[in-house]
Amino acid sequence: MVQQPFNHHRDYLLHELTALADIAGRHFHRDGLTARLHDLAQALLVSNPEPRPPLSNRTHVDTTFSLDLVSGIVLTAQSVIRGYPQMTEEDWADKATIALAELSALLRKEHAARLRGLYVIADPEIAGSSDLAGLIAAALQGGAKAVQLRDKHSDKGDQLPLAKTLAQMCRHHDALLFINDHADLAVAANADGIHVGQHDLPVEEARKSLLPHQLVGTSNALVDEAHASIGIGADYLAVGAMFPTKTKLNTRPAGVETLRMVRHITDLPIVAIGGINATNVAEVVQAGADAICVTSAILAAEDPEAASAELVEIIEKGLATRREA
């Protein structure tokens, strides 16, 4: 009774390892990774050389599909390894873990590259009595490309319905959703990742709870903090505060010059945050920010959609000018 599910998992894994090898080779041009994934597929064939259907051969690589595939394949690999002790004896598990981690990192980098434009923090404390989901819907309609749910007071179970709603809204608008601090909530809501501060869960610990494709962004006020975040594998860096802000009272000043220095040390997406509005956003983009994070500039605006559209236009012009320079 156990052998049939095991065979099913192994056949699934065999097909998908081959598909991942194809993605690693044609999409990322990583021949070494391609070879290792093919070797893992070959190990499965040797374990049970019975005839099976032709292996999958995808000619088009869709990043979202690939991210979902890597997330699922890790769980399947664990099931196969548990069901076939010989693979553990041959270090198959270690090889699979390393290869899948490398491919996950490549896919996360591509996923994080979408972090461009307006990034809005959904904070119920700032929204007050207003409909927070409605405010974010207006921001997305105005062109926002990322949202972070930051609720410092509600229990996670109470936050989950809103988190799921925001995730659906963001997918509809091809935007990213991040959850502040809580990796388990990000998994439950199927968010794109989490954002952590300097004293929150470390990146490497957060990854133990997240799905392989989910991103981790970090807050940084100093160049040394940005260096450290890069070293531990952050997928994007938030730098701030750019200017004085009343939205978050315990933030530390960074300033535009720190942003410029961080831009020189990394090609990771950089999100600038803190006191940014329509009057100073162009300066911040020129200093190196890929995305601009705001809270009250949208949540407290008389017309959140129009406020978003105005910021989006300025950001896009700034990014275009920077590319041409």
User: Domain locations in the chain?
Assistant: 3-110, 114-324
Round to whole Å and give the CA distance between 227 and 229: 6
Which tokens is 262 given?
Answer: 């961080």
Catalytic, out of 10, 145, 150, 207? 150
20-71 tens-digit pLDDT: 777 777 777 778 877 877 777 776 665 554 544 444 444 444 555 555 555 5
Determine the pLDDT at residue 49.
47
Residue 248 annotated to the active site: yes
Closest CA to 295 of 259, 230, 241: 241
| CA 300 vs CA 127, 129, 131, 294: distances in Å | 7, 11, 12, 11
Round to whole Å and give the CA distance between 14 and 8: 10
Closest CA to 192 of 269, 97, 307: 269
Determine the pLDDT at residue 92.
61
Which tokens is 95 given?
Answer: 């090889």
Its sign, for the CA torsion 255, 259, 265, 270, is positive
Closest CA to 263 of 235, 244, 234, 285: 285
CATH domain 114-324 topology: TIM Barrel (3.20.20)
Determine the pLDDT at residue 250.
59
pLDDT < 70 stretches in the chain: 1-10, 12-13, 43-93, 96, 246-251
CA atoms within 13 A on the CB side of 299: 24
Please enumerate in sequence order all residues whose Cβ is within 8 A of that of 196, keeping only pairs 6 or more positions apart, or say none: 180, 181, 202, 203, 206, 216, 217, 218, 219
Residue 150 annotated to the active site: yes
Catalytic, out of 108, 116, 145, 219? 219
Determine the pLDDT at residue 253.
79
Residue 219 annotated to the active site: yes
Closest CA to 133 of 164, 89, 175, 112: 164
pTM higher than the cut 0.95: no
Catalytic, out of 108, 116, 248, 263? 248
